Amino acid sequence: MKRQHISDAVIRRLPRYYRYLDELHAKGVVRISSNSLGKRMGITASQIRQDLSCFGEFGQQGYGYNITALRAEVGHILGVDEKHRLIVVGAGHLGHALLQNFDFVSSGFRLDTAFDVSPALIGSTINGVLIRGINELEDYCAAVHPAVAVLTVPKAVAQETAARLISLGVRGIWNFTNMELTVESGIFVEDVHFADSLLTLSYRISAAPQLEKESS
C-alpha cells in the first residue's frame, strides 16, 4: 500500500466511503463506478479517485470498483481488521446509551468492559459488557492493554482521567466530555461535541430564509 502524508480532509472522508461500501455490500451490489458512488455520497468522481490514489491503485477503467475488494481495502486502511481493544470510562446515561446501542464490533473494536465509580453500576452488565470499579483500571490495563478509551465522565474530571488513561498506555480517546483535552504528542483525541452539531443545524435553518431572499 502506498504511504504518504494524508490530509485530514481525506482521512475524514474514509469512514464515509467505508459506510457506503458496507451498505452496498450488504445489498449484494458487486461493483460500482466512481461516478455512481460519487452521486450517492454527494461528492465528485474525481474526488473519490484522488482520495483513493493516496493509498494505492483501486478499480479498473471501464469496470469500476469491486465492492467487496474495495470495502476490504478501505477497512484495512482504517484499521478495522486490527480489532483494537477499547474500554468505556463512565457508564452513566451517555456511556450506558453507547454501550447499549453503538456497534463497536462493526467498527473494528473489541469491547468487553467499562468502568464507573457508582456502586449501583459496578458488577452489573450492559448489553453483555461488565461494569468494573474505576479502582480496577490500572490492573485491567496492565493485563489487557486497551488502545482506545471512550471517555464519558463529568467535565470536572475529564483531564485527570485522560491523563490517567494515557499513563496506562491508552493511545486514543473518543472524547464525549465536552472539554478540550490537553494531551502529549502521539496521543490521538476525537472530540464529540453534540452542541456544535446542533448549533450548526440552527445556523443553517436560520440562514436559509435570508439566503433565499437574497437569491430571489
Give mean pLDDT in consecutive 10-residue pieces for the chain, a chain of 216 residues.
74 93 94 92 93 82 84 93 95 96 92 96 97 98 97 97 98 96 95 92 84 63
Contact 57, 83 (CB under 8 A): no
Domain of residue 116 covers 83-195
Residues 31 and 101 in one domain: no
pLDDT of amino acid 19: 93
Residue 210 lies in a domain: no
In this structure, the answer to whether residues 139 and 176 fall within a common structural domain is: yes
Q: Are residues 154 and 185 in the same domain?
A: yes
Is the backbone of residue 29 left (phi > 0), alpha (psi -120 to 50) or beta?
A: beta
> Which CATH number is 65's domain given?
1.10.10.10
Kindly state whether residues 111 and 191 are assigned to the same domain. Answer: yes
Q: Identify whether residues 27 and 102 lie together within a single domain.
A: no
How many independent structural domains does the chain possess?
2
Which of residues 33, 49, 76 is at a domain's end? Answer: 76
CA distance 59 to 17: 14
Total-model pTM: 0.85
